[in-house]
Amino acid sequence: MSAVPAESVETPEPAWRQRAVERSTRAAKLRAEQRVQRFLDAAQELIADKGTTDFTVQEVVERSRQSLRSFYQHFDGKHELLLALFEDALSKSAAAIREQVAAGQDPLERLKLAVELLYDSSRPREGRQSPLFTDFAVQLLVSHPEQVASAHLPLLDFFTEMVEEAVETGQAVAPKPRRTASLIMQTAMFTAQAPSARVGAHPSPITVEEVWAFCLGGISGGPVSDGTPATAPTVKKTAAKTGAKKKASAKKSASATTAARKTGAAASPPRRG
């Protein structure tokens, strides 16, 4: 976007003009946000209603009593809308888990509770809203992994914190807390999500307890004394950052308002023939 000589010769936008534009913009932006919110709400209702993210843009438009035109004026497309809802739901979920876990004292116990909560909220329940994002989330995972990742950041931060604490108290071993946290989260979320082999295999899906037991093993200093001549597995804990470094990220933000996003960046361009 920097190689456009033809335009770089334009007038340098005087400050007063910028301000003028800014002012006339503010009001509009406010209204825009309201509209956006209406779309968001409508979509949320639809999801809760139908149980899937398969609603049509039309439906959202109708329910929000606005117009298609308006929709596309505020969102880059259905995808953006879903992404917004997704992020919003995730950050709320993160906040909720954080809060419920706050009570616990023991790091490991807190982590366990967090895993249980995460597992539970990742579960495809029927009536409620948030869970249905899981299916969209999975789809998103293959189409826009980066955005999913960033949406997961708050939660990942939190889990990382807990893992670090557990490491500090010697209850766990994790040379790379963040990565370990990521693994734990993934395990919990995907296991909850996937009705995995419930066919000829076991009839009942894997439970939270099992997930936790598995994760627990994964972080407890495991007896890595297997005679395998492979590369030393777990022992890469080079100077475990146990010393100080208390990250203690007290981000109590959770300002869910994911209103108008329009990152308009790597969004898939509308295919045109």
Question: Please, what is the Cα angle at 128 between 94 and 214, to 5 degrees?
Answer: 50
| Part in contact with a second copy (CB under 8 A); list of ranges 11-19, 174-182, 240-248, 253-261 | 174-182
C-beta separation of 108 from 166 below 8 A: yes
Residue 148 CB, shortest distance to DNA, in Å, is 18
C-beta separation of 85 from 43 below 8 A: yes
Pick what 24 binds: DNA, a second copy, none; C-beta below 5 to 8 Å, kind-dependent: DNA
Interface with a second copy (CB under 8 A), residue total: 81
The CB density around residue 20, as the number of other CB atoms within 10 Å, is 11
| Residues 6 or more apart in contact with residue 180 via CB below 8 angstroms | 163, 172, 174, 218, 219
Q: Does 93 bind a second copy (CB under 8 A)?
A: no
Near a second copy by CB under 8 A: residue from 92, 123, 261, 262: 262
**Site residues for DNA, window 54-73 (CB under 7 A)?**
54-58, 65-70, 72-73
Q: Does 196 bind DNA (CB under 7 A)?
A: no
Pick what 67 binds: DNA, a second copy, none; C-beta below 5 to 8 Å, kind-dependent: DNA
Q: Does 237 bind a second copy (CB under 8 A)?
A: no
Q: Does 72 bind a second copy (CB under 8 A)?
A: no
Q: Does 186 bind a second copy (CB under 8 A)?
A: yes
Residue (of 115, 136, 110, 120) closest to 52 by Cα position: 136
Pick what 68 binds: DNA, a second copy, none; C-beta below 5 to 8 Å, kind-dependent: DNA
Query: Binding mask 26-45 vs DNA (x if CB under 7 A, - otherwise)?
Result: -xx--xx--x----------
Give the DSSP H/E element, type plus range, for residue 136: helix 133-143
Residue 185 CB, shortest distance to DNA, in Å, is 29
Q: Does 170 bind a second copy (CB under 8 A)?
A: no
**Site residues for DNA, window 3-22 (CB under 7 A)?**
20
Binding-site ranges for DNA (CB under 7 A): 20, 23-24, 27-28, 31-32, 35, 54-58, 65-70, 72-73, 77-79, 266, 268, 270-273
